Each structure stands twice: as C-alpha cells, then as structure tokens.
C-alpha cells in the first residue's frame, strides 16, 4: 500500500483511527484495520492540500487524542472527527517576518517540540531570523478554549546570549593581540580556532577566565532537543543544548520561578517577560492619521506589579513608561491611564512586564487629524 503525496513525506503519526501522513504542503490519512477496510485518503479527499508539515520533530501528540505540528502558516491542531485548526493566530507576525524559514527548509529537524501534560501546553523551539539554532520557543496553552477557537499562543526567548562583558582586540606593535577599546571582536571558525571577525560574520564576545586563556563568552543554552525530566510537580520541560549540557526551563505558573535557561546548579537564567502588542487602533478611519493622547492598560495581579507601556507608530516606539498597578481583589482588573503623544496611521499599544500579571485591557485615546490637501 502506498500513500501518494505531492512532495516528499516529512512525517507519519498515529492519532485515533488515523495514520496521518505529512508532506511540506499536504496532509493525508490512512484509515481502517484490515485489507478490506483500509481507506487511503489523499489529494482532494484527504485532510488538506495546502496545510502540511515543515518540521518533523514538531509533530507531537497532545491531550488524550490529538496532535500538533508546525506548518508554513503556523502551529496546527487536529483531533479525529474535527478539522485542522491553526492555534497560533496571535503569532502571525513572528511566523511571517521573524522565523528563519531558510534554516528550517534546509534542516527540517532543527525545530523540536514537546507536550506538557500538567499545564496542557505544547512547546516548540524554533530558530529566529539570523540564527541557525533554536533561539525562541512557541508555547500554545491548549487548556484555554473559546467559541470557535482553541489554544492561547505565546512567544518567549529561550536562552541568554552572552555572559559578562565582551573584550575587543587589536594587533599590537609586537605582533601579539592586545586589548583595545577601538578594536574588533573575535570569531570562532569552523576549525575551532579564534580569528578576527570578517564581513558578514557574527562576533562572539570573549572573556579572560581565571585559567588565563581566552574563551567564548556565549552561553550556548539554546534548545536543541526538548524533553521531560523528573520534578516536584510531576513534569517539567528540559532541553539538551548544542553544547551538550541539560537545562531546565521554568515559569511562574509551574515552580514559582520567573527565570528561564537556569543552569543545573540553579544559577544564571534570564527573566521571563510578558510582551503583548495590541491590534492597530483605526478609530473607524483606516486612512486618517491619529494623534495618540493616552494609553490604557488594565491588569489582574495578586501583588503589586509593574508594567511598561508604549505606543508603536510609524515603526517607532514612543512614550515608553513604567507604571505600578496595585494588587487586585476578586479578579477585578485595575486600569491605569498613561499620557502619551504619538502620531501615526495605525498606532498600537505595547505592554511588557516581568511580574506575574494578567492583562485584561489595552486601549488608546486619540484624535483624528486632518488630511493635508495637495
């Protein structure tokens, strides 16, 4: 028996009574339990001739009887009896502008995914634009559902980039390297030796450790393979990095830790930051310029928390301000109005925070400007 797909198959996965077969731009299934009942559905009778799988290690079973994977358009979800659903709609800007598609196309085994049964979250580590390794993680909370939709997606950096302060070098009069504030950084070549950075190459900060030998200051904690290991709460996402070391990835909802990329001894890590960008505020006039006068943010938080709000207009960040929102009671959000001044056609509000907050509202107060004549 052969399942004919338009392009080379990228993965197979058993879900319920179906054996799903994926190619880059197509999803088909094999159904049945014997020679007389087997049905092969491809092409027009298959699930989809436009949604396939671009990374075979992103195919992971989720929940009791469902599966998630990465396609060209984002993260997909399927359960028998239903249709393929896109569950990463809130991250379409990342998928269209920031995902390193060339790297995934050339090496489809780079992205890696795992499912957390405790929090019901699908984690998928992916390379961002400009990186060859997995540098960000997509997290889809499948516990959150609404009318006609399933899953709440979020995006987070997966690893710290540097440790310590970079040292610049120059060649001294004696021919040896010297530290020089106006010098250049070093590059680790494919042969493992340090050399000066050339055009189009990426510099690696270097440190002088106690051993007296110069070494790279890069903390290679980006995820290579995601997996689960034992923890107090019954399951926690770990990754084996490209450097061979294993790291634990925490969040505040799980272990009360607000750091990611924590080393095995509990040191290091970067703060997990909430980052939300609102839809564009058009005020019913998509072609009129607007002058934003105020930013509204409402949040729910058990303890006093700080959030930073700003206006995005014309590709520039304006009026970035940090405000303190007191603790709220009975899940009633508290709202803050922050004064602003920014002009743009499609202004947006961005809010970030490293505290434990739930954003209930983002809004803008603005006035429509007259269109210039002539």
Can you read off the two tokens belonging to residue 317?
A: 């960040």
pLDDT tens, position by position, 155-176: 876 543 333 445 566 667 777 7
Model confidence, pTM: 0.52
Beta-carbon contacts of 216 under 8 Å, excluding residues fewer than 6 positions away, are: 188, 204, 205, 206, 207
SS3 130: coil
pLDDT for residue 124: 92
**Structural contact between residues 134 and 177, judged by C-beta atoms closer than 8 angstroms:** no
The model's pLDDT over 244-258, given as tens digits with 9 standing for 90+, comes to 667 776 543 444 556
**Pick the residue with more confidence: 158 or 262?**
262
pLDDT at 317 over 50: yes
Residue 297 has pLDDT above 80, yes or no: yes
Please give the Cα distance from 199 to 211 (Å, whole number): 31
Mean pLDDT of 119-133: 87
Chain CA centroid to CA 368, Å? 35
pLDDT at res. 284: 87
Separation CA 271–CA 355 (nearest Å): 9
pLDDT value at residue 23: 86
Q: What is the pLDDT of residues 263-288, one digit of tens each?
A: 666 677 777 788 888 989 999 888 88
- Give the Å distances, CA to CA, from 48 to 53, 77, 98, 168, 297: 11, 13, 26, 53, 41
What is the rounded average pLDDT for all residues in the chain? Answer: 76
Query: Has residue 86 got a pLDDT over 80?
Result: yes
Q: Tell me the average pLDDT across 107-126.
A: 89
Higher pLDDT, 330 or 273: 273
Instruction: Give the strands of the sheet with 112-116, arranged side by side.
Output: 112-116, 121-126, 136-146, 149-157
Distance CA 26, CA 22 (A): 6
Q: How far apart are CA 217 and CA 86, in angstroms?
A: 39
Q: 289 with 339: CB under 8 angstroms?
A: no
pLDDT band at 42 (very low <50, low <70, confident <90, very high): very low
| Angstrom distance (rounded) from CA 70 to CA 100 | 13
């Amino acid at each position: 028996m052969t399942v004919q797909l338009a392009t080379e198959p990228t993965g197979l996965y058993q879900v319920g009574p179906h054996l799903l077969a994926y190619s880059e731009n197509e999803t088909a299934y094999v159904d049945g339990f014997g020679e007389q009942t087997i049905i092969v559905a491809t092409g027009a009778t298959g699930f989809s001739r436009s949604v396939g799988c671009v990374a075979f290690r992103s195919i992971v079973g989720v929940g009791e009887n469902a599966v998630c994977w990465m396609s060209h358009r984002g993260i997909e979800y399927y359960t028998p009896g239903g249709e393929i659903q896109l569950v990463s709609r809130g991250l379409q800007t990342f998928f269209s502008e920031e995902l390193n598609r060339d790297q995934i196309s050339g090496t489809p085994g780079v992205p890696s995914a795992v499912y957390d049964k405790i929090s019901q979250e699908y984690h998928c580590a992916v390379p961002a634009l400009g990186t060859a390794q997995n540098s960000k993680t997509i997290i889809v909370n499948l516990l959150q559902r609404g009318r006609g939709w399933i899953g709440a997606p979020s995006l987070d950096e997966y690893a710290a980039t540097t440790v310590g302060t970079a040292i610049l070098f120059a060649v001294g009069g004696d021919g040896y390297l010297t530290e020089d504030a106006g010098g250049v950084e070093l590059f680790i070549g494919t042969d493992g030796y340090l050399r000066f950075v050339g055009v189009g190459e990426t510099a690696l900060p270097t440190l002088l450790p106690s051993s007296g030998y110069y070494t790279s200051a890069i903390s290679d904690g980006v995820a290579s393979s995601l997996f689960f290991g034992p923890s107090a709460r019954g399951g926690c996402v770990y990754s084996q990095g490209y450097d061979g070391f294993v790291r634990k990835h925490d969040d505040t909802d799980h272990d009360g830790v607000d750091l990611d990329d924590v080393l095995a001894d509990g040191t290091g890590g970067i703060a997990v930051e909430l980052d939300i960008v609102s839809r564009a505020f058009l005020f019913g006039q998509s072609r009129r310029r607007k002058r934003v006068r105020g930013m509204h943010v409402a949040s729910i938080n058990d303890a006093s928390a700080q959030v930073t709000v700003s206006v995005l207009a014309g590709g520039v960040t304006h009026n970035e301000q940090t405000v303190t929102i007191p603790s709220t009671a009975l899940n009633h959000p508290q709202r803050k109005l922050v004064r602003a001044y920014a002009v743009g056609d499609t202004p947006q509000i961005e809010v970030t925070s490293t505290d434990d907050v739930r954003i209930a509202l983002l809004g803008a107060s603005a006035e429509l400007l007259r269109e210039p004549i002539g």
